[in-house]
Structure 1
Amino acid sequence: MVGLLSGIMSDSSDSDSGSMPELVDTIDGSVEEPETFMKGFLAVTPDDADSSGIENLCKQLFKHFEVDVKELAELLVRQNYVTTVLKEEVDEPAADPDDDGTVYGVYSAVNLKNNKDNPFVKQVVNWMLTHAGQSVEGNVLKQLLDFEGNHPNTTGLLIKEKVVNIPGVATCPFMKQLINDLETATENGMQYNFTHFVHVAKMVKIKHEPEYFVDQDDEIIHKNHTRFFDVNYPSSVDSGIIFQNQSGSSIYGKAFRRIYVFTKAQLTDFMNELQNIEGMNNLMAEAASSGLKI
């Protein structure tokens, strides 16, 4: 599972009204100029050397929540037949054989029932159920995560994390790769034929403004899937976040997480819309010509 996706670029001037590519920093109060990416990337199967890079990416998703992202990273490496990491293409190998390059993105899905005894899975399931409440969405999630219950559903935790200044459009070929990998694993007798998915999205609230999606592609999930509930940061944590609007002014907001629950068919809807956004056809063709399975 190796391929090249070159020329991915983040351009804050093309921001849609519900997305936030101008995000500057996450919950530490500092402001930095956002860097624009113009690199070639490799989509590769992860190995043990990528574990710390995956862990760092997953920290931005679960920061300040009591889940063991190191366990998650190690789990994703163990199930590398359904995990893809995004790395920068380099002309010469790193001098340190243990340094295999920075991980810029990770795409995978975890079978929550099959891994119910894994420390991370125990923690993240408890975290979700604690905040599910008595809403319709929460009750649906509780049923899906009742691993002792007599129901035919199989739920996967969707992992699609990337550095903030890689645009959401870049998600498409790697999500398509993930879906292909899940189908291949299922054909080989492994338990990846999910009926439902759970996804944790990074969000920001701004006073008197619409909510913002840190990852642009999550806005498409929102449009296609109505079942969700929100999780705020613990009261002991300063969830403040500073980013720049299109005029260059710094804006203060509050970070939170949104948990989406959707079906396998709705994931297909998400992929169809993602592929139809402007510029995707050229990006997909470029990825295919460089060897990425899409």
Structure 2
Amino acid sequence: MASYEKKRHVEASDESTLQAQDQVVHNDLEGEESSEDDSDLEEEAMDTEINEVHMSAESWPFSKKQCSLGGIADLLLSQNQIGCVVKQSEAQLAEESDSDDDMDDHVYGVTSVISLADKEDIPCIAQIRDLLITKCKECADSSCHAEFQRLLDKTRVGLLISERFLNIPPQLAPPLHLSLHKDLTRAKSKDEKWNFEYLVLMCKCYETMGQAKKKKKKKDSKLDQEIKSFFFANAEDEIFQKESILSFKYSILEETDTAIGGSWGVDETQLKTYRTVMVVPMLKMADILRDIQNNLSS
């Protein structure tokens, strides 16, 4: 993925910060009139600054066994009018680099959309559609599967790709999503294929399973009680889920390429990795963007 200079990007500067640049909120959120609230969102998005982060490798929402990641990367690069990336500044890379390696490969995240309707004849898109339909059939009830199949076949659906390394601060989410919304607003005014009715998200999520001790009341009472909690890798995905019209979850324990996608114990706590697939109406995006800004900007 070496051509990201074609896209707008958010850089980690040589002062060891991540700063969102060129992130302008369109004054008209999905057909709504411009308001003072929208102006506030724009001002805050353009002034977002994030502290230094240290990255480690993390998988996409689908593995290379399920889909051609190279094909997805090429497709994203060809859409240079849509989306943005998170990467280190050229100055910092030059300072840290001890070789002549391609510095454009230092990408920490990408936010974009791919059409699942117009691109279905492309192999990697066909693979994603097959994966989604198969997992829905396996993990959801028949009514959910039928509705999901109908939406993919009969409506304009985009796949929202919002991938960031695990320890990127959530404060970066508002400018990334607001910038993507601006790109889509501009693009759909020129080409109807970008006028999506729904977005599909494939979200990384985790379930912790630990043991909590409780007092013994009787000889046959159980001493341990299983405690479960569920959370998303990207904090904003919880906001998307609240506005989704359908969703289903599946485990990737047997499919992951790296340890981060599996199950392991930390201080008697098991962490299991899942994918939550959800469908969100574009008509809800104005509310979603405001919630993301209000909850994650500080």
User: Is this a same-fold pair by TM over 0.5?
Assistant: yes
Task: Tell me the amino acid that sits aligned with residue 40 of structure 1.
Answer: L
Q: Which residue of 1 aligns with 2:61?
A: 61
TM-score, normalisation: structure 1: 0.69
Q: Which has the larger radius of gyration?
A: 2
Are 1:171 and 1:217, in contact at CA under 8 Å, matched by a contact in 2? yes
Name the SS for the 1:61 alignment partner: coil
TM alignment of 1:51-90, pairs within 5 A: 59-63=59-63, 65-90=65-90
* 1:209 aligned onto 2:228: yes
Q: Which shows bigger deviation, 177-186 or 132-141?
A: 132-141
Q: Which residue of 2 aligns with 1:145?
A: 152
Name the SS for the 2:103 alignment partner: coil
Q: Which residue of 1 aligns with 2:285?
A: 267
**Cα distance 1:144–1:138, how it changes in 2: closer, same or farther (>3 A)?**
same
Deviating above 6 A after TM superposition, structure 1's stretches of 4 or more consecutive aligned residues are none
| Aligned partner of 1:132 among 136, 160, 178 | 136
Are 1:81 and 1:181, in contact at CA under 8 Å, matched by a contact in 2? yes
TM-fit CA distance, 1:166: 0.8
TM-fit CA distance, 1:113: 1.2
**Cα distance 1:119–1:276, how it changes in 2: closer, same or farther (>3 A)?**
same
* 1:112 aligned onto 2:130: no
Aligned residues between the structures:
231
Are 1:203 and 1:256, in contact at CA under 8 Å, matched by a contact in 2? yes
Task: Tell me the amino acid that sits aligned with residue 274 of structure 1.
Answer: I
* 1:221 aligned onto 2:240: yes
Q: Which residue of 1 aligns with 2:170?
A: 168
RMSD: 3.0
Q: Deviations over 1:245-273 (max 9, x none)?
A: xxxx4732211111001100223222110
**Cα distance 1:261–1:278, how it changes in 2: closer, same or farther (>3 A)?**
closer
**Cα distance 1:144–1:218, how it changes in 2: closer, same or farther (>3 A)?**
same
TM-score, normalisation: structure 2: 0.68
Are 2:173 and 2:296, in contact at CA under 8 Å, matched by a contact in 1? no
* 1:100 aligned onto 2:104: yes
TM-fit CA distance, 1:226: 4.7
Distance 2:75 2:254 in 1: 30
TM-fit CA distance, 1:169: 2.5
Identify which of structures 1 and 2 has the higher relative contact order when contacts are C-alpha pairs closer than 8 Å and 6+ apart: 1
Q: Which residue of 1 aligns with 2:262?
A: 240
Task: Tell me the amino acid that sits aligned with residue 161 of structure 2.
Answer: I
Q: Deviations over 1:133-168 (max 9, x none)?
A: 24443222201222xxxx4x2000000101110122
Distance 1:253 1:154 in 2: 36
Are 1:195 and 1:263, in contact at CA under 8 Å, matched by a contact in 2? yes
Identity of matched residues, %: 24
**Cα distance 1:190–1:96, how it changes in 2: closer, same or farther (>3 A)?**
farther
TM-fit CA distance, 1:2: 3.9
Name the SS for the 1:209 alignment partner: strand
| Aligned partner of 1:40 among 10, 13, 18 | 18
5+ residue gaps, structure 1, are: 8-37, 45-55, 281-294
Q: Which residue of 2 aligns with 1:188?
A: 190
TM-fit CA distance, 1:106: 0.4
Q: Which residue of 2 aligns with 1:34?
A: none
5+ residue gaps, structure 2, are: 1-6, 23-55, 210-226
| Aligned partner of 2:270 among 232, 246, 252 | 252
TM-fit CA distance, 1:213: 1.1
Distance 2:207 2:149 in 1: 26
TM-fit CA distance, 1:274: 0.5
Distance 2:91 2:167 in 1: 23
